[in-house]
Amino acid sequence: MLLLFSCADRDDRARSADGTPADSVSTAASPADSDAAAATACSTPRRAGALPDALREASGIAVSRSDPGVLWLHNDSDEEPIIYAADTAGALLATVRVAGATSADWEDIAVGDCPAGDCIYLAAIGDNYHERDDRGFYRFEEPDRDARRTAAADFFPFRYPDAPRDAEALFVMPGGEVFIISKGRDGPVAVYRYGVPDAPDSVRTLEPVQQLTTGIVQLPQMVTAAGATPDGAWIAVRTYSALHFYSMRDGHLAPALDSAGVDLRPLGEFQGEGADIRADGAVFLASEKGLDENPAPPLSILRCRLDRLRK
């Protein structure tokens, strides 16, 4: 099983000026010692706002490097290759066309280093039926929040070293090193290293790094997103039901806490598929359409004390 950790559900309604939870962190503990440690590290996840109807299939979210108050999001599939800029309450700021890209099974998005400075990495890596021969990711310079079109995107295709995998999570380390995490529906949840992209349109074989589970996982534990802090110190990995933290040790992911995960189930997400972590420990979460009683796609947040995670 993934090493997860649970936060107790607490009724903390403090808000900051932008409508997100205040920076204070609850110290309420659950019965297990490891869960108590997690509770002091992170606030209770809660709604920060609602995404626009255009993002009813929200599948990925990334925090801007140039403007930490801007979030980049995308749908699983749009008729046109579009990314969306939103503020931290979910209000739409811009709709941006990705030049040179095709919209098909976009599953995750990240902002990371590249030769141009800061780039968006857009993961076209979904493969439910193991039949795609065009798995890969796009990379292009991060646009301004009021842009209407990106610079031309480069595409970096890859193959797995053994058998096809369905994946929905990509993260980028400092220097532009790319990692993919498989979903866990067709084999163990596994981490693969792409490395630093340097040859667009040239197929690269991923390097297997490690397995995070011993076998396939049930639906709630399937991995749907990942994101790294800008300094690469912490990697957040989400499933449909929980959020996990890791540090990178000798090229491998090491659990940052001993317990069972930040419990995301109280958020009532219809299908939680997006996560990214900001330098200050704020984690933003995106889901597809809301539940029947609240049909708007939700944007959620929790705040974590990174100094309380374990290297």
The arrangement of strands across the sheet holding 70-75 comes to: 58-63, 70-75, 82-87, 92-97
Q: Can you tell me whether residue 6 is helix, strand or coil?
A: coil
Q: Can you tell me whether residue 60 is helix, strand or coil?
A: strand
State the pTM of this model: 0.88
In angstroms, the CA 121 to CA 178 distance is: 9
Sequence letter at residue 91: A
> b/e for 67-100, b at 16 or more Cβ within 10 A?
eeebbbbbbbebeebbbbbbbbbbeebbebbbee
Residue 67 banded pLDDT, cuts 50, 70, 90 = very high
In angstroms, the CA 134 to CA 141 distance is: 22
Ordered by where they begin, the domains of the chain are 33-308 (2.120.10.30)
**pLDDT over 50 (residue 188):** yes
- Tokens (6 digits) for 136: 């890969």
pLDDT digits (tens, 9 = 90+) for 123-166: 999 988 787 778 999 999 999 988 999 999 999 999 999 888 99
pLDDT digits (tens, 9 = 90+) for 218-256: 999 999 999 999 999 999 999 999 999 999 999 999 999
Residue 220 backbone phi and psi in degrees, to 5: -60, -25
Sequence letter at residue 102: T
Most confident of the ranges 6-10, 25-29, 100-104, 200-204 = 200-204
- Tokens (6 digits) for 260: 């069972």
- Tokens (6 digits) for 206: 């991923």
Mean per-residue pLDDT, 277-299 = 86
Cβ–Cβ under 8 Å, residues 206 and 180: yes
Sequence letter at residue 279: A
Percent of the chain with pLDDT over 70: 85
Residue 108 banded pLDDT, cuts 50, 70, 90 = very high
How long a stretch of residues is the chain? 311
Q: What is the dihedral of CA 168, 195, 150, 116, to 10 degrees?
A: 150
**pLDDT over 90 (residue 177):** yes
In angstroms, the CA 246 to CA 232 distance is: 10
**Closest residue by Cα to residue 252 from 181, 175, 160:** 181
